[in-house]
């Protein structure tokens, strides 16, 4: 047991005659570690992108609600008539009348 620990600490397991097996395992574990780190970075990027898009969606929804509120205010009859008075137009005192068109029957 003690000999194995010294072998690992000194690195003799890497230069011995049967070290090819050890190098293959070390390379395999290194490649797995690199893949795991890359996967973790990719997942973090996606999480940040999702958070950014979520905030952007909230801001756009807020702007939409604000614009809809302003539109509802501008569509009120009192606001429209006040703006038309400034331009020299006023609401009619006489209500509109329907026109009925009678078609002639051709024989």
Backbone angles phi, psi at 75, to 5 degrees: -85, -5
Token couple for 58: 């909230």
Report the chain's mean pLDDT, rounded to a whole number.
Answer: 88
Q: What pLDDT does 107 receive?
A: 55
3-state DSSP call for residue 54?
Answer: helix
Mind listing the pLDDT tens digit for each residue in 90-102?
Answer: 888 888 899 988 8
3-state DSSP call for residue 81?
Answer: helix
- Tell whether pTM > 0.75: no
């Amino acid at each position: 047991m003690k000999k194995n620990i010294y072998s690992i600490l000194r690195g003799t397991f890497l230069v011995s005659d049967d070290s090819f097996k050890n190098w293959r395992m070390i390379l395999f574990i290194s490649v797995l570690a690199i893949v795991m780190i890359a996967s973790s970075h990719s997942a973090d990027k996606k999480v940040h992108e999702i958070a950014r898009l979520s905030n952007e969606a909230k801001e756009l929804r807020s702007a939409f609600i604000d614009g809809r509120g302003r539109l509802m205010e501008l569509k009120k009859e009192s606001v429209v008539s006040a703006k038309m008075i400034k331009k020299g137009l006023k609401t009619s005192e006489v209500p509109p009348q329907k026109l009925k068109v009678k078609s002639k029957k051709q024989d």
